[in-house]
Amino acid sequence: MKKDPIRKLFLAAVAATAVLTAPGALAQVKERTLKFAFQNQTGHPQAQGAQKFADLVAAKSGGKIAVKLFAGGVLGGDLQTVSALQGGTVELTVLNAGILSAQVKEFAAYDFPFLFNSGKEADAVTDGPFGQKLMAKLEDKGLHGLGYWDLGFRNLTNSKRPITKADDIAGLKIRVIQSPIYIDMFAALGANATPLPFPELYSALEQKAVDGQENPNTTILSSKFAEVQKHITQTRHIYNPQALLVSKKTWDGMSAEEKKILTEASAEATVFQRQASRGAADSALDALKTAGMTVSELPPEEMTRLRAKVKPVIDKYSASVGEATVKELMAEIAKVRK
C-alpha cells in the first residue's frame, strides 16, 4: 500500500526538526514578521490551521520568524490578497484553489461541480503529481505554493424558501465567489449569480441585497450566517481544496534554512488542519439546526437533475482549462477510486 504523500512530508518534517533548531541552522535565520491574511473568522478550521502554522514556524525558527494572523478578510478579499502577495506587501494566504484560475487557468478544474466524492480523494489528487504540477505554474505569477488545506463541500443557503428540488434554485439571487465558473454554474441553475468579496457577504445577506450564498457548513456556522439565512440545502455541489501560498518575493529572499522551516511547518500544519476541518464539518450542521436553520436534502432524482443542469458548464470549462489537463485530472481521480 502506498504511503500518503502528506504523511511522508509530516514524518520528514519531524525528523528534520532537530537539525533546524541546531545553532548552526538558526544562525541562517533572520528575524522577521510575516503577515498571513485569510477570509474566515478566528475559530474556523482555516484559522486553526493558520495558528498551527504560525506556532510551528515560531518553534522551528527559535522565535526568529513571527507569523502575524489577519483573519476575517480584514486586509481585503481573496483577489486583493493575492495581488498583495504578488507585490510583496502581504507574505502568506490560504484561499480556495479555484480562485487561482485568474492566475493559472488550470486551477479552474478544482471547481468543477461534483468532482470529488470525499476529502480523501481530493488529498490524493492535490498532494500527488497533478496538484504539484499546478502549484509549480504559480511561480511565474509571483506566488509559491506550500500545500493544500481543506475547506470542505459547499452547500446552499437562502432566506426565501426551502430548496427541495433542482428548479427551486431558479430566481434566487445567490452570492458566489469571484470566479467565472461559479457565476456560470448558478446561472445554469436559473439563479441570479452575484460575485462579491467574502468580507462583504454578511452585510449583503443582512440587507437582502442577495437572497443566499453557498459555502461549507463550517464557514456558514463560524460566519454566523444563520442569523440572516433561514434555509440550508446539503447540495455538496463543489469540494474546495485550499491553496496555502507565500509571496514569491518573500520566498526568493529567504535562506535555504528559512525555506525549510516554512515547508516543514506547512506539511505538519496541513495534517492538523485537514483533521480539524473534517472533524468540525461533522458537528457544524447540528449547530446550524440548533441556531434555527431548516435543513433540506435533495432526493437522488433531483441531484441527478442538478448534475444535468451544470453539465454544460463542465463542458465549457473543460475546453478552456484544456482537454489534456482535464483528462489527466480524471485519470488521477479514477486511480484513487481503484
Query: CA of 94: how far to CAs of 2, 234, 285, in Å?
Result: 28, 25, 24
pTM here is 0.87
Write the pLDDT tens digit of every residue in 122-141: 999 999 999 999 999 999 99
Q: Say whether pLDDT at 4 is over 80.
A: no
Q: What CATH number was assigned to the domain covering residues 155-237+284-337? A: 3.40.190.170
- Distances from the Cα of 185 to the Cαs of 87, 233, 323, in angstroms? 32, 16, 19
Count CB atoms within 10 A of the CB of residue 172.
Answer: 21
| Per-domain residue ranges of the chain | 5-150+241-281, 155-237+284-337
The DSSP code sequence of 303-333 is HHHHHHHHHHHHHHHHHHH-HHHHHHHHHHH
pLDDT band at 18 (very low <50, low <70, confident <90, very high): very low
User: What mean pLDDT do residues 107-121 have?
Assistant: 95
**Residue 111 clears pLDDT 60, i.e. is over it:** yes
If one counts every other C-beta atom within 10 angstroms of the C-beta of residue 328, the result is 16
> Does 220 score more than 50 pLDDT?
yes
Q: Same fold for the domain at 5-150+241-281 and the one at 155-237+284-337?
A: yes
Partners of 92 in the beta sheet?
A: 36, 246
Rounded percentage of the chain residues whose pLDDT exceeds 90? 90
Per the DSSP assignment, residues forming a β-bridge with 194 are 175
- Exposed, middle or buried, 24 (CB in 10 Å: 0-12/13-18/19+)? exposed
5-150+241-281, what's its fold?
D-Maltodextrin-Binding Protein; domain 2 (3.40.190)
- The grid coordinates listed for 123 are 488529498
Average pLDDT, the chain: 93
